Amino acid sequence: MRAMSDSPAPLWRALVATDPTRPFVTSYDDLGDRVELSRATLDNWVSKTSNMLVDGFGTQPGDRVAVALPPHWQSLAWVLSCWSVGATAVLGAAGGVAPGTEVAVADPTRLDAALDGGAEEVVGTSLDSLGMPLKEVPAMVTDYTLEARGHGDHFQHYPVDPDEPALETDGHALTGAELVAVGRSRAEEWALGDADRLAVIVATDAPLTALGVDLSVLIAAVVSGVPLVLTPPPAPGEEERFLKRLGTERVSVVHGADPEGDLPFRRVG
Protein backbone atom coordinates (compact mmCIF):
# COMPACT_ATOMS: atom_id res chain seq x y z
CA MET A 1 0.00 0.00 0.00
CA ARG A 2 1.19 3.51 -0.78
CA ALA A 3 1.60 6.19 1.86
CA MET A 4 -1.56 8.04 2.84
CA SER A 5 0.04 11.27 1.57
CA ASP A 6 -0.60 9.87 -1.89
CA SER A 7 -4.32 10.44 -1.32
CA PRO A 8 -6.12 13.79 -1.87
CA ALA A 9 -7.78 14.02 1.56
CA PRO A 10 -4.63 14.06 3.75
CA LEU A 11 -3.02 16.52 1.33
CA TRP A 12 -6.02 18.80 1.77
CA ARG A 13 -5.90 18.52 5.57
CA ALA A 14 -2.17 19.27 5.56
CA LEU A 15 -2.79 22.37 3.46
CA VAL A 16 -5.47 23.62 5.85
CA ALA A 17 -3.22 23.03 8.86
CA THR A 18 -0.35 24.96 7.25
CA ASP A 19 -2.24 28.27 6.99
CA PRO A 20 -5.97 28.02 7.73
CA THR A 21 -6.79 31.67 7.11
CA ARG A 22 -5.31 31.91 3.62
CA PRO A 23 -7.92 32.14 0.82
CA PHE A 24 -8.43 28.97 -1.18
CA VAL A 25 -11.35 29.68 -3.51
CA THR A 26 -13.10 32.81 -4.70
CA SER A 27 -16.28 32.32 -6.75
CA TYR A 28 -18.05 34.81 -9.00
CA ASP A 29 -21.51 34.32 -10.47
CA ASP A 30 -22.95 35.77 -13.66
CA LEU A 31 -24.14 38.89 -11.81
CA GLY A 32 -20.66 39.58 -10.51
CA ASP A 33 -21.47 38.57 -6.93
CA ARG A 34 -18.35 37.39 -5.15
CA VAL A 35 -17.70 35.04 -2.27
CA GLU A 36 -14.28 34.14 -0.90
CA LEU A 37 -13.59 31.12 1.29
CA SER A 38 -10.44 30.58 3.26
CA ARG A 39 -8.95 27.13 3.59
CA ALA A 40 -10.52 26.84 7.04
CA THR A 41 -13.96 27.98 5.88
CA LEU A 42 -14.02 25.59 2.95
CA ASP A 43 -12.76 22.84 5.23
CA ASN A 44 -15.65 23.56 7.58
CA TRP A 45 -18.04 22.82 4.68
CA VAL A 46 -16.00 19.73 3.80
CA SER A 47 -16.33 18.51 7.39
CA LYS A 48 -20.06 19.22 7.56
CA THR A 49 -20.64 17.50 4.22
CA SER A 50 -18.52 14.51 5.27
CA ASN A 51 -20.46 14.16 8.51
CA MET A 52 -23.72 14.45 6.58
CA LEU A 53 -22.63 11.69 4.21
CA VAL A 54 -21.57 9.35 7.02
CA ASP A 55 -24.10 10.11 9.76
CA GLY A 56 -27.04 11.13 7.59
CA PHE A 57 -26.74 8.82 4.59
CA GLY A 58 -24.57 5.97 5.88
CA THR A 59 -21.90 6.51 3.21
CA GLN A 60 -19.02 4.05 3.47
CA PRO A 61 -15.62 3.74 1.76
CA GLY A 62 -16.15 2.41 -1.73
CA ASP A 63 -19.56 4.02 -2.20
CA ARG A 64 -20.13 6.18 -5.26
CA VAL A 65 -21.41 9.77 -5.14
CA ALA A 66 -22.65 11.47 -8.31
CA VAL A 67 -21.54 15.11 -8.30
CA ALA A 68 -23.64 16.90 -10.94
CA LEU A 69 -22.49 20.44 -10.24
CA PRO A 70 -20.58 23.11 -12.17
CA PRO A 71 -17.28 24.60 -10.98
CA HIS A 72 -18.25 26.31 -7.71
CA TRP A 73 -17.04 26.40 -4.15
CA GLN A 74 -19.77 23.93 -3.19
CA SER A 75 -18.68 21.41 -5.82
CA LEU A 76 -15.13 21.60 -4.43
CA ALA A 77 -16.52 20.91 -0.96
CA TRP A 78 -18.41 17.87 -2.25
CA VAL A 79 -15.45 16.37 -4.07
CA LEU A 80 -13.13 16.87 -1.09
CA SER A 81 -15.79 15.34 1.16
CA CYS A 82 -16.07 12.27 -1.05
CA TRP A 83 -12.34 11.75 -0.75
CA SER A 84 -12.44 12.36 3.00
CA VAL A 85 -14.94 9.54 3.58
CA GLY A 86 -13.38 7.18 1.03
CA ALA A 87 -16.16 7.50 -1.54
CA THR A 88 -15.69 7.79 -5.28
CA ALA A 89 -16.77 11.11 -6.79
CA VAL A 90 -18.58 10.27 -10.04
CA LEU A 91 -18.88 12.88 -12.79
CA GLY A 92 -21.46 12.16 -15.47
CA ALA A 93 -20.88 12.67 -19.19
CA ALA A 94 -21.20 16.32 -20.27
CA GLY A 95 -22.03 17.35 -16.71
CA GLY A 96 -25.02 15.03 -16.42
CA VAL A 97 -26.00 12.89 -13.46
CA ALA A 98 -24.23 9.55 -13.34
CA PRO A 99 -26.78 6.77 -12.66
CA GLY A 100 -26.67 4.00 -10.11
CA THR A 101 -24.82 5.74 -7.27
CA GLU A 102 -25.54 5.61 -3.56
CA VAL A 103 -25.81 9.42 -3.33
CA ALA A 104 -26.35 12.10 -5.98
CA VAL A 105 -25.99 15.85 -5.54
CA ALA A 106 -27.27 18.21 -8.21
CA ASP A 107 -28.20 21.83 -8.83
CA PRO A 108 -31.84 22.75 -9.57
CA THR A 109 -31.49 22.19 -13.33
CA ARG A 110 -30.42 18.57 -12.81
CA LEU A 111 -32.56 17.51 -9.86
CA ASP A 112 -35.12 15.67 -12.00
CA ALA A 113 -32.32 13.69 -13.64
CA ALA A 114 -30.86 12.94 -10.22
CA LEU A 115 -34.21 11.64 -9.00
CA ASP A 116 -34.45 9.42 -12.08
CA GLY A 117 -30.88 8.13 -11.72
CA GLY A 118 -31.56 5.53 -9.05
CA ALA A 119 -29.52 7.06 -6.21
CA GLU A 120 -30.55 6.03 -2.70
CA GLU A 121 -30.19 9.65 -1.53
CA VAL A 122 -30.64 12.78 -3.67
CA VAL A 123 -29.32 16.12 -2.49
CA GLY A 124 -30.15 19.45 -4.09
CA THR A 125 -28.22 22.68 -3.78
CA SER A 126 -29.16 26.17 -4.93
CA LEU A 127 -25.53 27.13 -5.66
CA ASP A 128 -26.37 30.50 -4.16
CA SER A 129 -23.12 32.40 -3.67
CA LEU A 130 -23.81 32.75 0.05
CA GLY A 131 -25.16 29.22 0.51
CA MET A 132 -28.85 30.05 0.68
CA PRO A 133 -31.29 27.09 0.55
CA LEU A 134 -33.30 25.90 -2.44
CA LYS A 135 -36.35 27.97 -3.33
CA GLU A 136 -38.31 24.76 -3.92
CA VAL A 137 -37.45 21.35 -2.50
CA PRO A 138 -38.98 18.44 -4.45
CA ALA A 139 -40.18 15.37 -2.61
CA MET A 140 -37.40 12.87 -1.79
CA VAL A 141 -34.74 15.59 -2.06
CA THR A 142 -32.54 16.81 0.81
CA ASP A 143 -31.65 20.51 0.78
CA TYR A 144 -27.87 20.56 1.07
CA THR A 145 -27.27 23.86 2.85
CA LEU A 146 -30.05 23.33 5.37
CA GLU A 147 -29.05 19.74 6.15
CA ALA A 148 -25.28 20.26 6.19
CA ARG A 149 -25.42 23.14 8.65
CA GLY A 150 -26.76 20.77 11.31
CA HIS A 151 -23.71 18.51 11.16
CA GLY A 152 -20.39 18.74 12.96
CA ASP A 153 -17.64 21.22 12.10
CA HIS A 154 -14.84 18.67 12.35
CA PHE A 155 -14.18 15.43 10.51
CA GLN A 156 -11.07 13.28 10.56
CA HIS A 157 -10.60 11.86 7.09
CA TYR A 158 -10.67 8.08 6.80
CA PRO A 159 -7.39 6.18 6.23
CA VAL A 160 -8.26 5.29 2.66
CA ASP A 161 -6.11 3.05 0.46
CA PRO A 162 -4.62 5.39 -2.20
CA ASP A 163 -4.93 2.59 -4.76
CA GLU A 164 -8.71 2.52 -4.45
CA PRO A 165 -10.88 4.48 -6.95
CA ALA A 166 -11.41 8.13 -5.98
CA LEU A 167 -12.79 9.65 -9.18
CA GLU A 168 -14.88 8.25 -12.00
CA THR A 169 -15.46 10.28 -15.14
CA ASP A 170 -17.64 8.86 -17.91
CA GLY A 171 -16.91 5.33 -16.75
CA HIS A 172 -13.14 5.77 -16.38
CA ALA A 173 -11.86 5.43 -12.81
CA LEU A 174 -8.76 7.01 -11.27
CA THR A 175 -7.28 6.12 -7.90
CA GLY A 176 -6.33 8.61 -5.23
CA ALA A 177 -2.66 8.02 -5.97
CA GLU A 178 -3.22 8.70 -9.68
CA LEU A 179 -5.07 11.94 -8.90
CA VAL A 180 -2.30 13.17 -6.65
CA ALA A 181 0.35 12.25 -9.23
CA VAL A 182 -1.35 14.18 -12.02
CA GLY A 183 -1.98 17.14 -9.71
CA ARG A 184 1.67 17.29 -8.76
CA SER A 185 2.62 17.02 -12.41
CA ARG A 186 0.34 19.93 -13.33
CA ALA A 187 1.62 22.09 -10.47
CA GLU A 188 5.21 21.48 -11.63
CA GLU A 189 4.37 21.95 -15.31
CA TRP A 190 2.59 25.23 -14.59
CA ALA A 191 5.33 26.37 -12.14
CA LEU A 192 2.76 27.24 -9.49
CA GLY A 193 4.25 28.98 -6.47
CA ASP A 194 3.23 30.70 -3.24
CA ALA A 195 2.82 34.09 -4.91
CA ASP A 196 0.44 32.83 -7.62
CA ARG A 197 -3.34 33.05 -7.83
CA LEU A 198 -4.96 30.85 -10.47
CA ALA A 199 -8.06 32.09 -12.28
CA VAL A 200 -10.25 29.41 -13.84
CA ILE A 201 -12.29 31.23 -16.47
CA VAL A 202 -15.32 29.10 -17.16
CA ALA A 203 -19.05 29.48 -17.71
CA THR A 204 -21.13 29.08 -14.56
CA ASP A 205 -23.08 26.20 -16.15
CA ALA A 206 -20.02 24.32 -17.41
CA PRO A 207 -19.46 20.73 -16.26
CA LEU A 208 -17.11 20.15 -13.36
CA THR A 209 -14.68 18.56 -15.82
CA ALA A 210 -13.77 22.14 -16.77
CA LEU A 211 -11.31 21.65 -13.90
CA GLY A 212 -9.86 18.76 -15.92
CA VAL A 213 -11.32 15.34 -16.57
CA ASP A 214 -9.07 14.25 -13.72
CA LEU A 215 -9.83 17.41 -11.67
CA SER A 216 -6.14 18.17 -11.98
CA VAL A 217 -6.71 21.93 -11.59
CA LEU A 218 -8.16 21.35 -8.12
CA ILE A 219 -5.43 18.91 -7.10
CA ALA A 220 -2.70 21.19 -8.45
CA ALA A 221 -4.09 24.00 -6.30
CA VAL A 222 -4.09 21.73 -3.23
CA VAL A 223 -0.56 20.49 -3.92
CA SER A 224 0.86 23.98 -4.48
CA GLY A 225 -1.35 25.91 -2.06
CA VAL A 226 -2.35 28.34 -4.80
CA PRO A 227 -5.73 30.08 -4.36
CA LEU A 228 -8.36 29.54 -7.07
CA VAL A 229 -10.54 32.25 -8.60
CA LEU A 230 -13.57 30.77 -10.38
CA THR A 231 -15.07 33.33 -12.73
CA PRO A 232 -17.20 33.33 -15.88
CA PRO A 233 -15.72 34.96 -18.99
CA PRO A 234 -16.64 38.57 -19.69
CA ALA A 235 -19.84 39.46 -21.50
CA PRO A 236 -19.43 41.47 -24.72
CA GLY A 237 -18.33 44.97 -23.84
CA GLU A 238 -17.30 43.98 -20.31
CA GLU A 239 -13.70 43.03 -21.07
CA GLU A 240 -12.17 46.04 -19.32
CA ARG A 241 -14.17 45.45 -16.16
CA PHE A 242 -13.24 41.77 -16.30
CA LEU A 243 -9.53 42.53 -16.51
CA LYS A 244 -9.93 44.89 -13.57
CA ARG A 245 -11.50 42.00 -11.64
CA LEU A 246 -8.50 39.78 -12.36
CA GLY A 247 -6.19 42.59 -11.29
CA THR A 248 -8.10 43.15 -8.06
CA GLU A 249 -7.84 39.42 -7.32
CA ARG A 250 -4.07 39.56 -8.00
CA VAL A 251 -4.37 36.80 -10.58
CA SER A 252 -1.08 35.70 -12.10
CA VAL A 253 -2.11 32.50 -13.92
CA VAL A 254 -5.20 31.85 -16.04
CA HIS A 255 -6.78 28.58 -17.12
CA GLY A 256 -9.65 28.22 -19.56
CA ALA A 257 -11.15 30.83 -21.88
CA ASP A 258 -8.47 33.38 -21.08
CA PRO A 259 -8.49 37.02 -22.22
CA GLU A 260 -6.85 37.87 -25.51
CA GLY A 261 -3.94 40.20 -26.00
CA ASP A 262 -0.59 40.88 -24.38
CA LEU A 263 -1.60 40.64 -20.72
CA PRO A 264 0.38 39.98 -17.52
CA PHE A 265 -0.90 36.43 -16.99
CA ARG A 266 0.67 33.04 -17.55
CA ARG A 267 -1.68 30.89 -19.57
CA VAL A 268 -1.88 27.24 -18.63
CA GLY A 269 -3.99 24.23 -19.49
Domain boundaries, the chain: 4-268
| 3-state SS string for 171-189 | CEEEEHHHHHHHHHHHHHH
pLDDT in tens, 30-52: 999 999 999 999 999 999 999 99
pLDDT at 172 over 80: yes
Strands 34-38 and 23-28: antiparallel
Do residues 71 and 208 touch, judged by C-beta distance below 8 A? yes
C-alpha 51/C-alpha 155 separation (Å) is: 7
Instruction: Please state the rounded mean pLDDT for residues 49-78.
Output: 97
Hey, what's the torsion of the CAs at 63, 38, 263, 182, to 10 degrees? -30
Q: Among 3.40.50.12780, 1.10.286.10, 3.40.120.10, 3.30.565.10, what is the CATH number of 4-268?
A: 3.40.50.12780
pLDDT score recorded for residue 161: 92
pLDDT score recorded for residue 99: 94
pLDDT score recorded for residue 94: 84
For residue 11, give the nearest of 167, 163, 184 by alpha carbon: 184
pLDDT in tens, 111-156: 999 999 999 999 999 998 777 899 989 999 999 999 999 999 999 9
Confidence grade of residue 95 (pLDDT, cut at 50, 70, 90)? confident
For residue 84, give the nearest of 40, 57, 53 by alpha carbon: 53
pLDDT score recorded for residue 2: 47
Give the lowest-confidence range in 137-151, 179-193, 247-261.
Answer: 247-261
pLDDT score recorded for residue 264: 83
pLDDT in tens, 204-253: 999 999 999 999 999 999 999 999 999 999 988 898 899 999 999 999 99
For residue 161, give the nearest of 16, 32, 61 by alpha carbon: 61
Long-range Cβ contacts of 103-106 (<8 Å, 24+ apart): 103/53, 103/57, 103/59, 103/63, 103/64, 103/65, 103/66, 104/65, 104/66, 104/68, 105/65, 105/66, 105/67, 105/68, 105/69, 105/78, 105/144, 106/66, 106/68, 106/69
C-alpha 157/C-alpha 81 separation (Å) is: 9
pLDDT averaged over every residue in the chain: 93
pLDDT at 1 over 60: no
Q: Which residues contact 11 (CB under 8 A, 6 or more apart)?
A: 5, 180, 219, 222, 223
pLDDT at 190 over 50: yes
Do residues 88 and 65 touch, judged by C-beta distance below 8 A? yes
> How many of the other CB atoms lie within 10 Å of CB of 261?
7
> How many of the other CB atoms lie within 10 Å of CB of 267?
12
Confidence grade of residue 261 (pLDDT, cut at 50, 70, 90)? low
